[in-house]
Amino acid sequence: MAEFSTSIKDQSGVSVVYLNGYLDAHTAPMLESNFSELISGGKFKIVVNFKDLVYISSAGLGVFMAFIEKIRENEGDIKLTTMNDKVYNIFDLLGFPLLYEIYKTEDDAIKKFVETDKLGK
Amino acid sequence: MGNKSKIKEKKLIVKGKTENLARIRTFIQSIASSVGFAQESIDNMILAVDEACTNIIKHAYKSYPEGEIIIKVKYEAKKLVITIIDYGKSFAPDSIPEPDIQEYYRQHKVGGLGIYLMRTLMDEVEYISIPGKYNQVLLSKSLTSTR
């Protein structure tokens, strides 16, 4: 049963990870290996698109917690985008908006990386 | 045309494996919608039950995936009562403080979020643990709950 899947594209040096389906304790390892691969490939600028994510539990949220520090130490970030209300409410209940930048659109999130890069130069 | 005021107790027994979480969610969805809960309430119940079962799988049955999780649901007096039983390692939920997300970030810690969610999403959460025998968590939500 394809209850969760991900796909990744590269845009302007930013890796966009698309989530699809149900992210729970069973499927969280799949996203963990996506993040591990990005990190070992030196890709620290990550946008996660939640458009097709139907469901998330704390095991799914935990994946973001597990990798964020390593990514920020390397001048990267995980920015989140296009969350439906149901998924956003869970993030909000746990105070995640304090820790992660959440954008309305994928373009906004990518732009933010590009702007930050320009400022750094 | 059925009488929705009371349903016979429904029961689901699954092994303590994460692959069964989807089945558990479907079970809760079908019962809660049959007695007339709004989808938002159902979503909250599904997440609370998922969190309870994930805790059982990850902690109580950590080294014993063949252990059984028994989920019983009854609807009485406009209240859905979900009882989840396992026979794994016992657990003291009162030792879990409310999470401070900034502190979690510093410590890379994620455990404890599930319990907090369960308490936030349900009307009542009650643990009974008889060490060496069984653990039981009771989750309830009334039809008129605003959560």
Q: Do A25 and B21 touch (CB under 8 A)?
A: yes
Instruction: Count CA atoms within 13 Å of residue B140 on its CB side.
Output: 14
ipTM of the complex: 0.93
**Which whole number is the average pLDDT over B73-85?**
96
Place B107 in a pLDDT band, splitting at 50, 70 and 90: low
Q: Does domain B7-142 sit in CATH 3.30.565.10?
A: yes
Q: For residue B110, is pLDDT > 90?
A: no
Q: Does B126 touch chain A (CB under 8 A)?
A: no
Instruction: State the total domains in chain A.
Output: 1
Q: Look up residue B74 and give its two tokens.
A: 């009854």
Assign residue A19 the CATH number of its domain.
Answer: 3.30.750.24
Closest C-alpha among B40, B143, B104 to residue A86: B40
Q: What's at B140, amino acid-wise?
A: S
What was the pLDDT predicted at A44? 98
Q: Does A61 touch chain B (CB under 8 A)?
A: yes
Report pLDDT digits (tens) over B14-61: 999 999 999 999 999 999 999 999 999 999 999 999 999 999 999 999
Spatial neighbors of A12 by CB under 8 A, at least 6 apart, are: A110, A113, A114
Q: For residue B123, is pLDDT > 60?
A: yes
Using CB atoms, pick whichever of B19, B50, B117 lies closest to residue A93: B117
**Which whole number is the average pLDDT over A64-90?**
95
| CB neighbourhood size of B89 (10 A) | 17
Q: Does B54 touch chain A (CB under 8 A)?
A: yes
Q: For residue B1, is pLDDT > 50?
A: no
Strand partners, B72: B11, B83
Distance CA B147, CA B144 (A): 9
Range of the structural domain that residue A107 is part of = 4-120
Q: Give the best residue of A4, A22, A23, A24 to mutate against chain B (max B CB count within 10 A).
A: A24
**Which whole number is the average pLDDT over A49-74?**
95
Place B147 in a pLDDT band, splitting at 50, 70 and 90: confident
Instruction: Please report, for residues A7, A47, B23, the alpha-carbon distance to residue B83 in angstroms, rounded to integers and kept in the order given.
Output: 38, 39, 16
Q: Do B102 and A86 touch (CB under 8 A)?
A: no
Closest residue in A to B120 (Cα–Cα): A93
What was the pLDDT predicted at B112? 76
Q: For residue A58, is pLDDT > 70?
A: yes
Q: What's at A40, amino acid-wise?
A: S
**Which whole number is the average pLDDT over A7-20?**
96
The 3-state DSSP class for residue B113 equals helix
Establish, for the pair of chains A and B, how many residue pairs have beta carbons separated by less than 8 Å: 70
What was the pLDDT predicted at B63? 75
Instruction: Please report, for residues A77, B12, B24, B45, B71, the alpha-carbon distance to residue B27 in angstroms, rounded to integers and kept in the order given.
Output: 38, 8, 5, 11, 9
Distance CA A1, CA A116 (A): 40
Q: Look up residue B94 and give its two tokens.
A: 């009162």
Q: For residue B103, is pLDDT > 90?
A: no
Q: Which of residues 66-95 of B touch A (CB under 8 A)?
A: none
- Please provide residue A12's backbone torsions phi and psi, each rounded to the nearest 5 degrees: 50, 40
Q: Does B99 touch chain A (CB under 8 A)?
A: yes
A32–chain B nearest CA distance, Å: 14
Residues of chain B in contact with residue A95, where contact means CB-CB under 8 angstroms, are: 99, 101-102
**Which whole number is the average pLDDT over A43-54?**
98
The 3-state DSSP class for residue A18 equals strand
Residues of chain B in contact with residue A61, where contact means CB-CB under 8 angstroms, are: 110, 113
